[in-house]
Amino acid sequence: MYIATVDYQSPDAKIKFTQSLKDSGFAVLINHPLDWSQIQAIYDEWLVFFRSEHKKNYLVSSHKKGGLFSTALSETAKGETKKDPKEFFHIFKTGVYPLEVSNNALCYYDQAHDLAKQLLGWIQQQSPVDVQQLYSEPLPNMIEGSESLLRILRYTPIASTQDYVRAAAHEDINLITILPAATAKGLQVKNKAGEWLDIPVEPNSLIINIGDMLQEASQGYYPSTTHRVIKHKNDVELERISMPFFLQPRPDVVLSKRYTAGQYHTERMQELKVIQDGKVLV
């Protein structure tokens, strides 16, 4: 499995980028247009927020959009029985947002959303004609009018002298995910032989991966590859902050003859056991 590191400024960037996505489901972008100083500021201030008592004022509920998922409400990966040791805050454009942090994350949301439209445009252009014909509408249009999900995620420290899994093996649900390099290493991808490989992470880089919805819409041309996050016993970082941005299509978007995006999303949320009071918590 080869995951390409692609210079966003390169004339052949879109070709190398989409070829890597086709081959592995992942690609790494360097020299991209997102402001890394802003990303680092988000990491710094949200780590302080996660360590504070203020976070308890924003616990997620079925009556509001977004908020804090504590370690008790964390996801259970499909096929797993234990929740991942993490807590995270879900940010939407019209949802709950903490007063204790700046608007950096909201600004990043808009900038990353613009980049996502461009990257989906690259994927659209580089898809073979027969694959393009499978798309019910152009890929960049699918996220127009939708509320994509920005998740700020803290992997909590665990006292352990052994390797352990911070996020169990899973695939993402959405079209694509934009993930800035986290504050600690540990992201791995599973190849066809069942081996776990470290994803090459350049400083200040973005990791882009295919989600299940794009795999469904392309009938498998672009693979949604299994990945996980681990902590090796010798890693010095006890905590890990990351910020995946899950680009969601509108619920009415037709992915295939089997699913609309809304139907697919609800099914997967039920599998992840993020339901409260009979309602799906997104």
Domain residue extents for the chain: 5-280
Dihedral sign for Cα 256, 262, 265, 266, please.
negative
Give the integer Cα–Cα distance in Å for 241 and 47. 7
Neighbour-count burial for 62-94, b at 16+ CB within 10 Å, e otherwise: eeebbbbbeeebbbbbeeeeebbbbbbbbbbee
Residue 115 structure tokens: 């980049």
pLDDT of res. 149: 96
pLDDT of res. 49: 97
pTM over 0.85: yes
Residue 244 has a CB neighbour count (10 Å cut-off) of 19
Beta bridge partners of residue 30, listed in sequence order: 7
Give the integer Cα–Cα distance in Å for 176 and 170. 14
pLDDT of res. 78: 55
Segments of the chain with pLDDT less than 70 = 74-84, 160, 236, 272-282
Helix (H) and strand (E) counts for the chain? 7, 15
pLDDT of res. 276: 47
Q: How far is CA 224 from CA 73, 178, 208, 211, in A?
A: 25, 14, 11, 5
Looking at domain 5-280, its CATH architecture is: Sandwich (2.60)
